Chain A
Amino acid sequence: DAGVIQSPRHEVTEMGQEVTLRCKPISGHDYLFWYRQTMMRGLELLIYFNNNVPIDDSGMPEDRFSAKMPNASFSTLKIQPSEPRDSAVYFCASSLYRGWGETQYFGPGTRLLVL
């Protein structure tokens, strides 16, 4: 398997612009997670989906952030409008639930810089 795929790998944009991050989970995995990582706050869970349905979005910072999962093989995280404080590495991860806590497999991340 190719693992979790994310695009773009790097994104530089100006404040106020819309940013869309994309993720393809590992085939067959039924959980998908979006995280944000910064030096100050570490790795934070933003939102996660189970079978394409958002389960918990309490980590989404504010209304400027939105996430969708239209099908089992694709998810997007959108920031509109973007702000400099959104600069971070955004990771997507997926897992397969089999009863106990299951390993999450991370994509390579998108490094976002908002100027």
Chain B
Amino acid sequence: GQNIDQPTEMTATEGAIVQINCTYQTSGFNGLFWYQQHAGEAPTFLSYNVLDGLEEKGRFSSFLSRSKGYSYLLLKELQMKDSASYLCAVGNNAGNMLTFGGGTRLMVKP
């Protein structure tokens, strides 16, 4: 089975940097996904890691360590519009299944 843990809530200041951690235990691994979900909207894809290391995409970066079962999402130069929930999801070897963590609600304050 899958077990995914991430903090429930985080608060950060506009312009700052925030790191959202995700730890997982899985019986099969086919990549680690991060999704962003604004209140009342659908989750949208942010990043995908299947190999160890850092993937950078503009203000967002995602890191993966498969041996430690650990990932983080790094958001730089925070903007008010970054206030949202961030969902960590683990891909399963069985087809395209994803198992989602509970999500981290990020509040960006002025």
**Measuring CB to CB, which residues of chain A are less than 8 angstroms from any residue of chain B?**
31, 33, 42-45, 48, 50, 55-56, 91, 95, 97, 100-109
| CB < 8 Å neighbour of B87 from A31, A43, A100, A107 | A43
Instruction: Give the CA-CA distance A109 to B43 in the complex, in Å.
Output: 10
Flag if A106 contacts B97 (CB, 8 Å).
no
Q: In the complex, what residues of A have CB within 8 A of residue B91's CB? A: 100-101
- Most interface-central of A45, A104, A109 (chain B CB within 10 A): A104
9 residue pairs of the A-B complex, CB under 8 angstroms, read: A42-B101, A43-B87, A91-B42, A101-B33, A101-B96, A101-B98, A102-B96, A107-B42, A108-B42
| Interface: B110 (CB within 8 A) | no
Chain B at the A interface: SS class: loop
Flag if B102 contacts A50 (CB, 8 Å).
no
Flag if A100 contacts B98 (CB, 8 Å).
no
Nearest chain-B residue to A32 (Cβ)? B96
**Measuring CB to CB, which residues of chain B are less than 8 angstroms from any residue of chain A?**
30-31, 33, 41-45, 48, 50, 87, 91-92, 94-103
Instruction: Give the CA-CA distance A103 to B43 in the complex, in Å.
Output: 11
Nearest chain-A residue to B98 (Cβ)? A104
| CB < 8 Å neighbour of A105 from B45, B87, B100, B101 | B45
| CB < 8 Å neighbour of A103 from B45, B97, B102 | B45
| CB < 8 Å neighbour of A56 from B31, B97, B100 | B97
